[in-house]
Amino acid sequence: MSLPRVLSVVAGSPAARAGIEVGDEVLSVDGEAPRDIIRWNWLIDEPELTLEVRRGGLDLTIDVEKPPGEPLGLEIHSALFDQLRTCDNHCEFCFIYQLPPGLRKSLYQKDDDYRLSFLYGNFTTLTRFTEADFERVVTEGLSPLNVSIHATDPAVRNEMLRNRRGGPSLRWLRALLDHGVEIHGQIVCCPGLNDGAVLDDTLAGVLDRFPELASLCIVPLGVSRYNHEPRMRPTTREEAAAVVDIVAAWQQTFLEVLGHRMVQAADEFYLLAERPFPEPETYEGFAMHEDGVGMARTFELEFTGRTTTVTGVRAGFFAWADGAPAGSRYEAALDVGAPPDGYRAVRSTATDGSGPHLGDGSAAPVSVALRPRRDAPIGVLTGTAGAAVLGPLIESLDRDDVRVVPVENEFFGGTTSVTGLMVGEDIARTLAAEPDGHRYLLPDVCLSGDRFLDGATVADLPKPVEVIATDGAALRVALGG
């Protein structure tokens, strides 16, 4: 078990006044050694605290007094202090198994930790969930959680997870729903395994056994060029169309029986099937936006100004693996008054053209000074899937100075086409073939801090780029709209 290590202390805060310093390791808070940031924030919300800290090999006792609800005023190094709950499933479709060699070690960590589901929106299968975990989720109100379902037939789920606990572990899903925990479900749809009749059966099982689910998203299998599983193959146009049709039929059933549509298909299915995206009201609030469901529609609404609500996305795939502290979901749920400083922090876009901002109004740290003229031609960098969405929106502007610049993902290869998995190597190759002196806009969803998944940074790119928030309003502002 590691100790919470202080990374920064806010000047004038209760922590600063009490004498806490950067580098201090916290042994305990009021006699308890916190095992994660969830418990940490419960403990430090008290107006009077006693912290045992280790500084330079010496153990010190520090008393802190603060008004009720005031943040302690320090940042610690990680969300988890005890051991990460690793995943013991062996899913053929797991993207971790499909990563190229040579990436930073944190990206290869395969978790099945309910705490990361609560903190960062990771999906858990519940195969390693225990009675103690259940008690903690219920008593501490750790809601919402995201659960990977894949299939409700026990034998099929066992096969999907390659784990004999796959089917039986769904009992925890039922127990959590019984105790009022908000659950968002996911199905990774693998051609020939859990699509077609099996998908129909799964949705029938959801209606029968788990009707309280807040939402259920169906996402396509992702296949990189490093995939070595013979049964894992790209979804065809016909298979994607079948999924879209099954979802539409079940939406109507859920609407009639439950009063809401519950199940949604990811945007990629509509792109693969060459079908139009559903109307905005079909998404019923875009509950699974962050998982690729309704992103195209929300981006369109933001870009055209038909909504003033900016949904945005978290900044960077695998954000939790880079040690980001807890973000907005956690702090909103606990109401501890801490600033949203994690990768899941709420983002807003400035309306004054000054670029992306964090939810607290401070400038986003990944912004890069522009060298091209403000009136220079503009290239919008995006993944090939994003280009299919952005293309019509850019064309609607009827401007000859703005173009979409698709970035082919050769780093991961295969079917990888989403913007969030763009890496520095591919962007650099694409930019090298583009004209000098143009403005190039880069969505921040492909970054964790200032770093791409392949380890490159924005400074490594061959041409200057402007990093903007990944939402339609930010793009509209950057284009001068």
- pLDDT over threshold 60, residue 282: yes
Please state, rounded to an integer, the average pLDDT across all residues of the chain.
88
CA distance 29 to 454: 38
- Residue 444: alpha-carbon gap to chain centroid: 13
Residue 234: what pLDDT?
Answer: 95
- pLDDT over threshold 70, residue 355: no
Its CATH class, for the domain covering 96-293, is: alpha beta
| Percent of the chain whose pLDDT exceeds 90 | 79
CA distance 181 to 177: 5
Please tell me the least confidently modeled range out of 366-370, 453-457, 469-473. Answer: 366-370
The two tokens of residue 374 are 């403000």
- pLDDT over threshold 60, residue 39: yes
Q: Name the more confident of 321 and 29.
A: 29
Tell me which residue of 450, 463, 454, 399 sits closest to 425, measured CA to CA. Answer: 454
User: Measured between alpha carbons, how far is residue 365 from residues 271, 358, 399 in Å?
Assistant: 33, 9, 30
Q: Per-residue pLDDT tens for 181-193? A: 999 999 999 999 9
- pLDDT over threshold 80, residue 340: no
CA distance 53 to 61: 6
The two tokens of residue 144 are 């919402």
- pLDDT over threshold 70, residue 142: yes
Tell me which residue of 225, 16, 34 sits closest to 115, measured CA to CA. Answer: 34
Mean pLDDT of 112-129: 94
Residue 407: pLDDT band with limits 50, 70, 90: very high
User: Measured between alpha carbons, how far is residue 401 from residues 351, 423, 430, 479 in Å?
Assistant: 22, 26, 18, 10
- pLDDT over threshold 90, residue 481: no
Mean pLDDT of 296-310: 92
Q: Name the more confident of 94 and 320.
A: 94
Q: Does domain 6-76 have CATH number 2.30.42.10?
A: yes
Residue 177: what pLDDT?
Answer: 98
Residue 363: what pLDDT?
Answer: 38
Handedness of CA 186, 318, 316, 75 (dihedral sign): positive
Query: Roughly what angle, to the nearest 10 degrees, separates helices 170-178 and 131-140?
Result: 30
- pLDDT over threshold 50, residue 360: no
Query: Is the preceding peptide bond at 144 cis, omega within 30 degrees of 0?
Result: yes
Mean pLDDT of 282-309: 93
Where in the chain are the domains?
Answer: 6-76, 96-293, 349-478
Q: Per-residue pLDDT tens for 418-440? A: 999 999 999 999 999 999 999 99
Residue 247 half-sphere exposure toward CB, CA atoms < 13 A? 27
- pLDDT over threshold 70, residue 101: yes
Considering the entire predicted model, what is its pTM?
0.85
Residue 68: what pLDDT?
Answer: 87
The two tokens of residue 446 are 């492909």
